[in-house]
Structure 1
Amino acid sequence: MKKLFFAFTILFTGIISNAQDKPQYLEVDYQMEMKFDIEEILANVPAAWKAQVEEPLRQEIKNGIFIDYKLKTNGTESEYKMQEKINNDQSAAGMILAQITAVDKEPLYKDIKERYYLKPYNVGKAYLMKDSLQNINWKISKEKQSIAGFDTFKATGVMNDSIAVTAYYTPKINVKDGPDRFWGLPGLILKAEFESNGADMIITATKVAVKEEEIKINKPTRGQEITEKEFYEEMKALQEKYKEMYGGGVDSE
């Protein structure tokens, strides 16, 4: 009897272990909403144009600017990519979307197990940003919210030493991943709220699909490898160079 019980225990433990080791393939649709400070935007509009663009710009910002993304993950590796749409909109909102689309075309690759990410950029030259995933010190609360059909729990943290982040994750999906560079909670992150470049960003899952078939994650390899800090230093230097070439000494009034 003891031998039978021991054999059953070993078998049951093996079944649980195999279930935990099995990759979890998911496709998650997210929508990012950007909320801008209209007064700050209008302050940068030339006085000659302000009367013409102020009202439509206020309405567009009030209605919100939205971009769709898709996360594909096998539980340890993931790809987060913007879903491009044909955009012939010549409004201020349309131009903002066009600028973001031009910069953010390439997918973000994350390796949760090895704790790093890759992000290609092509700004006249091909770069491959490679850096560590930030270890956000999440604080989990009991506050709940229903998102995409899942009960989620609220968590707060700080990234880049200064940016406050609020996230909602579901423990029902045991994947420590999420949109953009967010990760590290005991379940899939379905919502993230933070501020970036003066805009409030809200990324919310709209659909979660569990896939039976294997999802292949493409790891980017093209471009000059560079850290995030080095990349933004180069972009800042390039921006200053363009200002000197095309804007230096020109009276903007």
Structure 2
Amino acid sequence: MKKLPYYLLLVLAFSQVQAQKDFQGMAVYESKTQTPKFDGMRAGNRDITPEMQKSIEERMKQMLEKTFVLNFNKSASIYKEEEKLETPGQQGGGMRMMMSSMMGGGGTFYKDVKSKTYTVDKEFMGKEFLVKDSLPRLNWKLEQETKQIGGYNCYKATVVKEASQTDFRNFRPKNNDDKKDDAKKSSGDTKTNFEDSFEIPKEIIVTAWYTPEIPINQGPENYWGLPGLILEVNDGTTTILCSKIVLNAKEKADIKAPSKGKEISQKEYDETVVKKMKEFREMNRGRAGGPPMMGR
């Protein structure tokens, strides 16, 4: 077998390096969250009727079903909600933006797995924020269980992580004993107010499925750190599932961090949101109408 000339070896080596450098992909994710049940509750000082319950749950379902696009290369990615035209009758823009921000939407989520940092631009209550912080350390437990997603062989991984107190998707219904205690304290009957029927746990168990066939440690939202692209995530109430993958398309996405908004840490942003949530809760207490932060 003849040896290749030295200059050809250099060309091949350069081509391989360039191919790795130019590697890019796009993944589409469908996000769905279980709709909370509002039966047996009060909205302000009124019982939630079956008609109100149906209307609220339908609006919640629309807001809790989203499509996101992840553009990625070897070291960085941008994750953004796919823009959709609003249909007539949807709630006001400001309230919708606030709820979207609290349900995993709003802005461009940029992850740099090389520097282990992220940047996301968010609009909240009419103000623009640029949240910059370190990526969360996720101590994944790699499992042997496998399944196929879109033709890719995937492996299971689990992690216990702290639940964000500003993400509406983390709300869980209280158990019956807790509801009864709250009802006795508040009104003496079996009805409870909306805000007294749900709680946010301190920790949640997350199950992810990743494929080593796309060997990058990226994934949707702030999930990362597995030996392959994450194609599915489930945290008990929300499922994010990849529905489409395109690798090395001719048109390349511009993968760079957003830069617009007041720079702030994740902790500072969370404190701002929690403060506003408390203000809305106090404002809605004792008022007739829909549950807090739902709008009309």
Question: Is the structural similarity TM-score above 0.5?
Answer: yes
Amino acid at match of 2:75: T
**In structure 1, how many angstroms separate the alpha carbons of the residues matched to 2:119 and 2:288?**
39
**Within-5 A mapping of 1:91-240:** 100-101=99-100, 104-123=105-124, 124-160=126-162, 162-195=203-236, 200-210=237-247, 211-240=249-278
Residue identity matched to 1:201: T
Aligned-partner residue type, residue 231 of structure 1:
Y
Indicate the residue corresponding to 1:79 in structure 2: 78
Instruction: Provide the aligned length of Structure 1 versus Structure 2.
Output: 241
Instruction: Verify the 8 A CA contact 2:101 2:123 in the aligned structure 1.
Output: no
Residue 54 (structure 1) aligns with = 53
The letter of the residue matching 1:225 is E
Q: Are the aligned partners of 1:143 and 1:153 in contact in 2 as well (CA < 8 Å)? A: yes
**Structure 1 SS opposite 2:114:** coil
**Residue identity in the other structure for 1:74:** N
Q: Distance in 1 between matches of 2:64 and 2:268?
A: 30
Q: Of the two structures, which has the highest relative contact order with CA contacts closer than 8 Å and spacing of 6 or more?
A: 2
Gap regions ≥5 residues in structure 2: 164-202, 290-296
Q: How far did residue 102 of structure 1 move?
A: 6.3
**Contact 1:35–1:64 (Cα < 8 Å) also in 2:** no
Q: Compared with structure 1, are the counterparts of its residues 85 and 42 closer, same or farther at alpha carbon in structure 2 (3 Å cutoff)?
A: farther
Task: Provide the rounded CA distance (Å) in 1 between the counterparts of 2:25 and 2:269.
Answer: 31
Partner of 2:227, secondary structure, is: coil
Q: Do the aligned residues in 1 keep the contact of 2:76 with 2:113 (CA within 8 Å)?
A: yes
Change (3 A) 1:214 1:44: same
**Normalising by the residue count of structure 2, what TM-score does the alignment of the two structures yield?**
0.68
TM-fit CA distance, 1:60 = 7.8
SS of aligned partner of 1:78: strand
> How much does 1:204 deviate?
0.2
TM-score, scaled to structure 1 = 0.78
Superimposed CA distance per residue, residues 157-192 of structure 1 (whole angstroms, 9 cap, x where no aligned partner): 122272211000000001110000000000000000
Cα RMSD for the two superposed structures: 3.6
Secondary structure of 1:136's match? coil
AA in 1 matched with 2:254: K
For residue 126 of structure 1, report the CA deviation from its aligned partner. 1.6
Percent of pairs with identical residues: 27
Separation (CA, whole Å) in 1 of partners of 2:233 and 2:132: 22
Q: Report the AA paired with residue 232 of structure 2.
A: K
Contact 1:33/1:64 (CA < 8 Å) preserved in 2? no
Decide whether the 8 Å contact of 1:84 with 1:101 is kept in 2.
no
Between 68-77 and 233-242, the greater mean CA deviation after superposition = 233-242
Indicate the SS of the match to 1:229. Answer: helix
CA distance in 1, matches of 2:273, 2:98: 15
Give the Cα separation in 2 of the matches to 1:121 and 1:49: 32
Asked whether the 8 Å contact 1:87–1:98 carries over to 2, the reply is: no
SS in 1 for 2:51: helix
